[in-house]
Structure formats: C-alpha cells, structure tokens
Structure 1
Amino acid sequence: MLEIIHEDDDIIVVNKPAGRYVHPSPGHERGTLTEELVRLRPALRTVGSVERPGVVHRLDAGTSGVLVFAKNRRAYLKLRACFESHTRLRKTYLAVVQGRPPQPAGTLETTIGRKPWDPRRMACDVPDGKRAVTHWTVLGHHNGRSLVEFVIETGRTHQIRVHAAHLGCPIVGDDLYGPKPVRGRLLLHAVEISFPHPATGKTVTFAAPPPPDIIYA
C-alpha cells in the first residue's frame, strides 16, 4: 500500500519505497508508482505525458523517500518549471557511504554527463556535462561507513551517487558506482523536500522519515 504523506487539490506527496520504479521503462512496465496512483486517482491519467502521468521529478528505483506528483495541468506546469530551474527548491537526502568523505562538511561542484562508452553511467567532467552542485555533511561514522546528509542545488541524473563516488566514498549498495559485489539495496533516501506550492506560491516542506536500513546500517 502506497504511503501518501500529503494530498490536496494540486499535489500528491508520497513516500516511495526502495525498489519501485516511478514510471514504466523498458523491462519494467508493471508495478510502477504511476500505475498505482492512476488506479487510485484516475484523473491523474490526463496530467502530463501518457507515459509519465503527474510526474514532475523522479527518484532512482533503488532510492526511497519523498516524491511529488502534480494532480492538474496548472500544478504540473508550475512544478516542472520549478524542478527544472531549481528556483526555491531544496532537496535533502540521507545516504550511507563506504568510508568517510575527505572533510566533515563541504561542497562539490563539477559537471556531470553520460559516459560516451557506457550510456548507463554518468561521470564528472565529461564532454557536454552539465553543472552539478552537491553539499554534504557527515552525521556519523561506524564500522567503516558514514551517514551523510546531501543537499543538492541541481538535479542531474545520479548526481549524489556520482558525487559520492567522486569523493572516494560510494553509496553502500550502489551497483553502478560502488565496488562489487553488491549486497542489499542502494542506501539512499530522499528525506525532505521544500518548494513553492503551485497554487499559493508559499514554500511548503514535506518529509519522509528514513527507514531502519539507513539509520542502523
């Protein structure tokens, strides 16, 4: 059963479980969040694209946490513009990483783009990469792993995963950017999001408490 954090006339905010795809993709056509949301709220079918109804931003399948959907065209257009420009948008994540970042807190700014020789993976400082800014704060360290808060100014594909690996501390469970073999899921959770509400323009904040595998990893 999908956990709905908040719902009003314009938006639905859910707590995405790890392992679920947001919308259909090749090889993953069924069991997506959009499929369940359209079943619960049939009017959502007409918002946005047919393939991605209501979708204004995404989380990787392995990532859990707070995720926002638009319920009407006006909200969809305003939220898409907000998420594309990152204007008045703040996204906070928690991750368990291997090792420890080089400093207790810091900012990493690079470009991120797709690897020409491996289109599944992104990398820093590749040709045609786009600006990516990530702030991190180490919250704790135990048994060779660190609990880190990440706040991103930009929303590039796999941004936190790529930047964590670039810092020398890949996220635990990352099968693309971490060491092999991988056991368990990607320990990355979208814990909080703030953005201007599409109807009022006032900043709203929603949170999804981290699951036990993040806190007790």
Structure 2
Amino acid sequence: MFFLNKNIKIIKLFVKKNQKETRIDKYLKKNIHNFSRNKIQKYIRSGKILVNKHIIKKNYKIKPLDLIELEIYMSSILDPLEYNNVVAEKMDINIIYEDEDIIVVNKPAGMVVHPGFGNENGTLINGIKYHFLNSKFTKLYRLGLIHRLDKDTSGLLVLAKNEYSQKYLLKQFYSKTIIRKYIALVWGNLPKKKGIITGFIGRDPNNRKRMTIFNEVKNKAKYSITHYKVLERFKYLTYVSCNLKTGKTHQIRAHFKYLGHPLFCDFTYGGDKIFYRKKCSRKNIEFFNICFKILQRQALHAISLSFIHPKERKCNFLSPIPVDFEKVLEKCRTLLQ
C-alpha cells in the first residue's frame, strides 16, 4: 500500500492460494473495512480496480493468487467526515480545553489522529468519542477535523463540535490567521539566526512515504512556507522554533531535509543517523545513541496554538515540552555546549 496523495491510496491485495472463487465485490467488502458493495461496484465501473493489471467487469470472480489493485479515495473507505462510523475506545486523552464549540487536545507522539485504512482503531478520534459517552457534549461535527499532526509528532490540536465552528476555524486556516508554533531539534548548525523555507512540496517520486521539495509546480506539488528561528545552538545540533504559514503534509520535516538539516531521529527523512560521524568523538557517538533511545521519534512538537474562537474571542494554548524531548535538550545543554 502507498499514497498518491493524502486522500488517495493504492492498495494491493494478493488472493490466497486456497481462496474459493467468489465475486470480487463480496471479497473486497469482507477484506476492506467500511467499503460498501455499492462503492466497490462504482470503482469497478470507473476502472479503479484492476485484477492482474487488467480492468474487470462487476461480476468478476476472484481466483487463487490473483493480484487486486485499487486506487481508493480514503473517504470511500472511512469517510473522515463521518463520526458515526467511529468505534468509541477508552484511552487517556489529554484534553486541555473544552466547551460547546471546540475541544483542544495535547496529542502524544505515537498516536494517529483519525481512523483510516490500517488504523481503524486506537486513534485520537476513537478516544474522544469514548470521552463523549459520559459528557454533556455528545459528539464532534463530522470528526471535527480542522488540521492534523503526524503520528509521531506531539502537541496541540483543535477540533470542532458543530458545523458553524468547523467552518469558522477552517476559514482561519485558509486565510492563514491561525498561529501554529512548533519546536524542533535539527542536525547541524543553521547558518542564520532566523529564516524562511519555501518551495513546492509534493510526494517524493522515489519514496511514496515521504514528501520532497520541488523548485517548480510538479507532481501536484503545492507551495509551502515555514518561518524558523534559532533558539539554541549545540555542537552538531540546533534547537529551533517554527511558525507555519501553510500546513502541508510533513512540511517542517521535508523543509529541513531540503536545507540539509533533517530533524533529529526522523527515520523517514534520514535524521535517525548520526551526522558528521567522522568528526564525532567516540564520546559524542555514544551520546547520540543514548539520545536516540530516549527520543524514539522525530524531534518535533506543536507547542502553541492561537486562533479566534467561534464566539469571537481570542484563544491561546500552550503545551509543555514532552518528557522525551526535554530530556534530550537537557543532555545537549550539559554535554554539547
């Protein structure tokens, strides 16, 4: 499975050798969660479902060892706007503010924001739905999604609880008046105290799991802007704050990779390897290996969020630096100054 973009995935299914012949719509409904037979038939008619690289008819019967390929709009599997499809799950959710219009959450690293193919359970939305079971605020409006954070990025998210609130907040995102600040630890010594990273961001043609920066519009790439400021400098690392002017998938991670300064411990963008290893002493190498064990994800945290509430008052929220991130910073201040 890989992404064409954030809304489309290519799914490949290999039929088992002992599978009995059965209609493809029946087979797919059984094997893909929340994918109805009507939608499957629609995809077959549009040629978005192939078997052994060939377009098929709606009454096709799958055979052992068939290769099924689907170009799927994720809203067809689990519409991210449909709250009723989500299963409520008990979990610890750090809710820092809630009223009848919005809910603000401090998401931990390792948690997926919303359900989708491969992540039907255990997401933030699953937990919030459980939270509402015993709350006077009974549900979100269409999952309430205004913006998202990557699975291994921690920090603040705001969700809408009614249609008016969602439209009101989305308008602020589109007009770029919502202020989202992040902190990050990047490899190397940034030459400037502050700067702006720009470029057209899109899927990396050589690795569909990551984004890359193009100098021109290419592969449906979209223009992106990140402002950054150096907070502290360490030997081999720089601690920065970032202010997003656009909100594209993996934006901060891809931007600093583009500068040649990937985020510390960012496996997808090469930050999980020790930079300047040849220049590092054995003590430095041991130090970084210890830090990798402490912070087992990209060093990125959504630390603050400011916006105008649907009731037309200004809201400012701040999230503490997570323990794993803070421990690495403390070690850097002690050993890398």
TM-score by length of 1: 0.90
Helix, strand or coil at the partner of 2:139: helix
Equivalent residue number for residue 304 of structure 2: 192
Offset of 1:119 from its aligned partner?
A: 2.4
Work out which structure has the larger RCO, using CA pairs closer than 8 Å and 6 or more positions apart in sequence.
1
Q: Measured at CA, do residues 28 and 16 of structure 1 come closer, stay the same or move farther in structure 2, by a change above 3 Å? A: same
> CA offsets, 1:122-180, max 9 Å, x none?
11116032111111111112242221101110001110001111111111121111245
Q: Is the aligned partner of 1:175 residue 2:267? A: yes
> CA offsets, 1:94-143, max 9 Å, x none?
01111122212111121111123432211111603211111111111224
Equivalent residue number for residue 30 of structure 1: 121
Helix, strand or coil at the partner of 2:232: strand
Instruction: Give matches, 1:132-147, under 5 Å.
Output: 132-147=224-239
User: Does the 8 Å CA contact 1:101/1:168 hold for their aligned counterparts?
Assistant: no
Letter of the 1:58 counterpart:
R
Equivalent residue number for residue 81 of structure 1: 171
Offset of 1:215 from its aligned partner?
A: 2.8
Offset of 1:37 from its aligned partner?
A: 0.4
* Distance (whole Å) between structure 2 residues aligned to residue 64 and residue 179 of structure 1: 17
User: Does the 8 Å CA contact 1:95/1:214 hold for their aligned counterparts?
Assistant: no
Structure 1: 4+ residue segments shifted above 6 A: none
Equivalent residue number for residue 213 of structure 1: 324
Equivalent residue number for residue 96 of structure 1: 185
* Distance (whole Å) between structure 1 residues aligned to residue 259 and residue 207 of structure 2: 21
Q: Is the aligned partner of 1:166 residue 2:277? A: no
Letter of the 1:89 counterpart:
I
Q: Structure 2 residue aligned with 1:13, among 97, 104, 115? A: 104
Offset of 1:82 from its aligned partner?
A: 2.2
Task: Identify the range of structure 1 (70-79 vs 182-191) with the bigger mean alpha-carbon deviation.
Answer: 182-191
More helix by share: 2
Offset of 1:199 from its aligned partner?
A: 2.3
Equivalent residue number for residue 112 of structure 1: 201
More strand by share: 1
User: Does the 8 Å CA contact 2:263/2:271 hold for their aligned counterparts?
Assistant: no
> CA offsets, 1:22-54, max 9 Å, x none?
011222221110001011115325x12xxxx11
* Distance (whole Å) between structure 1 residues aligned to residue 233 and residue 326 of structure 2: 11
Percentage of pairs with the same residue: 39
User: Does the 8 Å CA contact 2:187/2:271 hold for their aligned counterparts?
Assistant: no
User: Does the 8 Å CA contact 1:86/1:154 hold for their aligned counterparts?
Assistant: no
* Distance (whole Å) between structure 2 residues aligned to residue 169 and residue 159 of structure 1: 14
RMSD, aligned CA:
1.7
Equivalent residue number for residue 150 of structure 2: 60
* Distance (whole Å) between structure 1 residues aligned to residue 327 and residue 262 of structure 2: 18
Offset of 1:195 from its aligned partner?
A: 1.2
Helix, strand or coil at the partner of 2:177: coil
* Aligned length, in residue pairs: 210
5+ residue gaps in structure 1? Answer: none
Q: Structure 1 residue aligned with 2:161, among 61, 71, 79? A: 71
